[in-house]
Chains A and B, each alone.
Chain A
């Protein structure tokens, strides 16, 4: 069955760029007609949508993060990636990638999630 796995550094220094990759297995990222997503969760807090990407490369970003976020896709590797620049301690969180279930416009709910990866921003 389809699985998602996040990968990337667990520790990032303040002001640097956080980079994560989501690898999709058991299915093709190009087979979905919808937008794959990145969501994060700071320790002890709720869920925050970061952004979403279509396999063609079309993206949507959370306005609160838009100036710092870039999401890209590599269909040949069945991966999509997240870059978050100029990070601070407030960006410390578990970062999840997720598969869209169904969508309206560019907004989707997510039916399959990766296990999540904890990223700490600290010097």
Chain B
């Protein structure tokens, strides 16, 4: 099975900072990669699919890139409301569907 590894596991950044989270697949998955945001006590929310397509309604400060095995989620200017845990998820080919272990983002 393909494993998804996120880094870092947690990070702390200041408001206005550019933040990058990485997700690496153990095998190539083309661009079949989604990113979710989960705020404390809330339901996961889809941010990006197909590695770089922004879900409707998601602020443009969020962006995604990558293909194959290496992917990134970038927040161009961190806002206080972006405090959350972020998960990547691969959805290429047949299951199993796999999530990364999550990256907890805090405000410094």
List residues of A whose CB falls within 8 A of some B CB: 37, 46-49, 52, 60-63, 96, 101-111, 113-116
Q: Tell me whether chain A's interface is mostly helix, strand or loop, or mixed.
A: strand
Q: How large is the interface on B (under 10, 10 to 19, 20 to 34, 35 or more residues)?
A: 20 to 34
Interface Cβ pair total, 8 Å cutoff: 77
Q: Using known A-B contacts A47-B44, A101-B49, A114-B43, determine if residue A106 contacts B89 with beta carbons closer than 8 Å.
A: no
Contact indicator A107/B94 (Cβ below 8 Å): yes
Contact indicator A60/B94 (Cβ below 8 Å): yes
Q: Using known A-B contacts A47-B99, A115-B43, determine if residue A109 contacts B49 with beta carbons closer than 8 Å.
A: yes
Q: Tell me whether chain B's interface is mostly helix, strand or loop, or mixed.
A: loop
A46-B99, A109-B91 known; 5 new pairs, CB 8 Å cut-off, are A107-B95, A109-B34, A110-B46, A111-B55, A116-B43
Q: Using known A-B contacts A49-B97, A60-B95, A62-B95, determine if residue A107 contacts B90 with beta carbons closer than 8 Å.
A: yes
Contact indicator B93/A113 (Cβ below 8 Å): no
Contact indicator B43/A109 (Cβ below 8 Å): no
- Output the least CB separation between B84 and chain A (Å): 13
Contact indicator B95/A52 (Cβ below 8 Å): yes
Q: Which of B22-66 contact A (CB under 8 A)?
A: 32, 34, 36, 38, 43-46, 49-50, 55
Residue numbers in A under 8 Å from B43 (CB-CB): 96, 113-116
